[in-house]
Chains A and B, each alone.
Chain A
Amino acid sequence: MSLLQRERESITRNEYVDRFDFDEIEAFVRNASKNLFISHRFATAGKMLVQPRGGFPTYEKVWKLYEAFKDAGVDVLPLTIDSNTRLNDYATAKKMLALSEANDEDMLNGYPLIIHGYRTTRKMMSHFDTPVSLRHGTPDARLLVEVALASGIFEIEGGPITYLLPYSKNFPLDKAFLYWKYVEKVCAHYSTFNEPINRESFGPLSATLQPPVIVIVIQLLEMLLSLEEGVKSFSVSFSQTGSMLQDIVTAKVLKKLARDYAGRFGYGDAQIHLVYHQWMGAFPYDKEYSDALITASTVIAAMVGADKIITKTRNEAFGIPTKEANARAVAGVQYTLGMLRGLPDAGDDEEEAHLERMVREIMEAVLNDDADTLWRKTFNAIKKGYIDIPFSPHVINANEVITVRDPQSNIRIIERGSLPISDASYRYEKAKIALPEGKKVVEKIIEDIGIML
């Protein structure tokens, strides 16, 4: 038995898990409907796929949510996991699920997949016969991903950097890399039986004034870490920046360099997709304004040529949306996409060249580290502050980089910290910033965070 298989046996032998039948699961994946695979949808849809967010504690409520989404014309269903499961606290998830079922009140902020188990969940996935995307935020997602794949959930979001640095203060980063390596290996394993399992990185990061160069570097590294384990279908992603031009420039550079680096590392055969997240920052309390923001995001997603869009709702400022509001958003986005025909090809050669150069500068510094493996190089880069996410709660994050918006609302680096970008790149960024006389940087940051309010 291989080392990986031995680890899988050990991970899945857990008091909260009903007996794992690997042979039966393999047969299920082998014979699963093509409609369950988003990789297949990407290849055949011929349109941008629309995916909302959402998940409830009980099986019945998720079923009703999926019915509402299907009526609204959804392309990809989400399954958002509760916070206890994300932290591997299955005992609390179990207790809260029992209370939710008994009292018809949601005691969890998502679906406790491990407690429901794959035999139950698979019935729902097979019934809806639509691709499902696993949305979580788990540093140690080994068991969760085993259960998801066995259930017929064939897209797995996350990664060792993007699901750790924006979410956790203390979870050890080196462990996250190793736990995600397991996830990649298992996804690669199942990809050999039918259509490929799709992995998706989480580009929005902390969703607060994230400089595109950092987002792109992290997308490329998580993509390479996934492809090197044998994953064949991967989605890079980013969220609306607040500048239409910066979104277009980011998408062009991200698409180009994803192909470029995948080829350079010998993974030219992998399918790479682009995912666009509608505005991930603070939403207005006015629901009509929220609708306007969602429509504008949809137009930008079409302009950047996204393969999939992840939607928000008019209830965003008020907490978890009802299934009605969520389904309405899906229908609205589909309607907007339907009218966006004959879009012009916009761009800015100078900005694209500048962003591409900065990404390459950081990537070269990361790859030139002495460590023997890519994950160790990446780990060292984060420790050294070569990769530094503004507004990350994690202790390992350098927290030296500071960003503000320029007069066109593009996010610019005003303080580069230890980022290994050249003086020329840094000068270009700083030259774009116009800080009014006497205005404190912190006041500008507060304004720049709240541009959509």
Chain B
Amino acid sequence: MGSMTTNRKKIVTGVVGNDVHVVANRLIEISLKERGFDVYNLGVNTYLEEFLDAVLETDADVLLVSSLNGEAEGWCRDLNILKSNYRFRKEVLFVIGGNLTVGEADEDVLVPKFKRYGFDLVFHQKDLNEALDEVEAVLSERFS
């Protein structure tokens, strides 16, 4: 494999739970490709187990879970427990973003809560490009 391809980061993404917000999912995929990621998009209606299986199978660097229907907490609270069943070959960056709750949310409560569930980066109603800039910044720090 040439040096051109070895630097590309692999990312698994999709929409968690019973959530069919396909437009947002597709926009994330296009953005990630524009930024030079190898994207494995599992699409809408994806369960957490399927995400972790895909991370293992693809040897991904990042898992980017999105959720738009407000049901993220119910589908993601067991991430840490689930993670302990997998032996990933590298340090995976766990990211979640979207509309993470129904109705008004206090960021100061919401972000630490999702971090406790096992996410490294948490974006609630954040601009897609700003969020992806931050993901790239963290990755370049890790791999510098």
Contacts and interface: CB of A to CB of B under 8 A. Distances in A.
A146 to B, nearest CB: 28
Nearest to A415: B30
Interface residues on B, range: 10 to 19
Nearest to B28: A442
B43 A442 contact: no
A391 interface: yes
Contacts of B25: 393
Contact of A441 (B30, B41, B43): B30
Contacts, number: 39
Interface string B20-39: 10110111011100100000
Nearest to B26: A391
B80 interface: no
B22 A445 contact: no
Contacts of B27: 442, 445-446
Contact of B23 (A391, A402, A441): A391
Interface residues of A, number: 18
A169 interface: yes
A441 B41 CA distance: 18
B30 A392 contact: no
B26 A399 contact: yes
A443 B34 CA distance: 11
B62 interface: no
A208 interface: yes
B95 interface: no
A20 B90 CA distance: 61
A307 B45 CA distance: 38
A393 B22 contact: yes
A391 B23 CA distance: 6
B128 interface: yes
A393 B128 contact: no
Contact of A206 (B22, B31, B128): B22
A445 to B, nearest CB: 6
B31 A442 contact: yes
B44 interface: yes
Nearest to B128: A442
B30 A395 contact: no
Nearest to A166: B22
Given A440-B129, A442-B128, A402 B44 contact: no
Interface string A167-180: 00110000000000
Q: Is the interface of A mostly helix, strand, loop or mixed?
A: loop
Q: Is the interface of B mostly helix, strand, loop or mixed?
A: helix
Nearest to A397: B43
Nearest to A208: B23
Contact of A169 (B23, B29, B44): B44
A390 interface: yes
A440 B34 contact: yes
Contacts of B41: 399
A393 B34 contact: no
B31 A393 contact: no
Contacts of A392: 22
A449 interface: yes
Nearest to A395: B43
A393 B44 CA distance: 6
Contact of A393 (B29, B45, B129): B45
Contacts of A395: 43
Contacts of B45: 169-170, 393
Interface centre among B22, B27, B44, by most A CB within 10 Å? Answer: B22
Contacts of B34: 440-442
A25 to B, nearest CB: 36
Contacts of A169: 20, 43-45
Interface string B109-144: 000000000000000000011000000000000000
Given A391-B22, A392-B22, A442-B128, A402 B43 contact: no
Interface string A441-453: 1110110010000
Contacts of B26: 390-391, 399
Interface in B33-87: 34, 41, 43-45
Nearest to A392: B22
B30 A402 contact: yes
Given A169-B44, A440-B31, 7 more contacts: A208-B23, A391-B26, A393-B22, A393-B25, A393-B44, A440-B34, A442-B27
6 contacts: A170-B45, A393-B22, A393-B25, A440-B31, A442-B128, A445-B27
Interface of B: 20, 22-23, 25-27, 29-31, 34, 41, 43-45, 128-129
Interface of A: 169-170, 206, 208, 390-393, 395, 399, 402, 440-443, 445-446, 449
9 pairs of A and B residues whose beta carbons are closest in the complex: A393-B22, A442-B31, A393-B44, A442-B30, A169-B45, A391-B23, A391-B22, A391-B26, A442-B27
